[in-house]
Amino acid sequence: MIKVLPRNIARFIFLILIQVFIFNNIQFSGYINPYIYILFILLLPFETPKWMLLVTAAFLGLTIDIFSDTLGMHTIATLFLAFLRPFVLNLISPRDGYESGTFPRVAYYGINWFTKYASILIVAHHFVLFYIEIFRFGNFFSTFFRVILSTIFSLTFIVLSQFFVYRR
């Protein structure tokens, strides 16, 4: 865990900078908002303790909230994602479980496994984020459409990052 700490700190800073300076400025018709900063939580080692997942998610969400001026919306959504992550990993685990020393990445478990894992968590994150943003269910279907489109867009960037940035 200690030997991956410098790499995780660099990834944390890189994803925040990319999110704040590039992806926060991408918005198509008010429906597509890519959020790739959650890749940090998605790629944490399997052995990461639950309490550390939650603390890290809170800090990540708070940092994005500070830069985006969103008053805790990203913090809540990212905490929800971190809370769900162990359940999702358990739900989609391989028959023999996860191998020691591996990470939740395409290189270790394949594109189908990673897409399933990431899409479940991204939908959950975006659902909480966008419904907190409007804070009512009056526009349920238009907000749900926004969740789906943003999930597809975010998932595309996250899966592509697995091929261009992250290798074993």
Question: Is residue 81 classed as helix, strand or coil in its secondary structure?
Answer: helix
Q: Check the CA dihedral 120-48-54-32 and report its sign.
A: negative
CATH of the domain at 87: 1.10.1760
Full residue range of the structural domain in which residue 92 is found: 5-164
Render each residue's pLDDT in the chain as its tens digit; 168 residues.
566 778 889 999 999 999 999 988 877 776 788 899 999 999 998 988 999 999 999 999 999 999 999 989 999 999 999 999 999 999 998 888 888 878 899 988 999 999 999 999 999 999 999 999 888 777 888 889 999 999 999 999 999 999 887 655
* Number of domains the chain contains: 1
Could you tell me the pTM of the whole model?
0.91
Q: How far are the Cα atoms of 28, 83, 115 from residue 49, in angstroms, in the given order?
A: 37, 11, 23
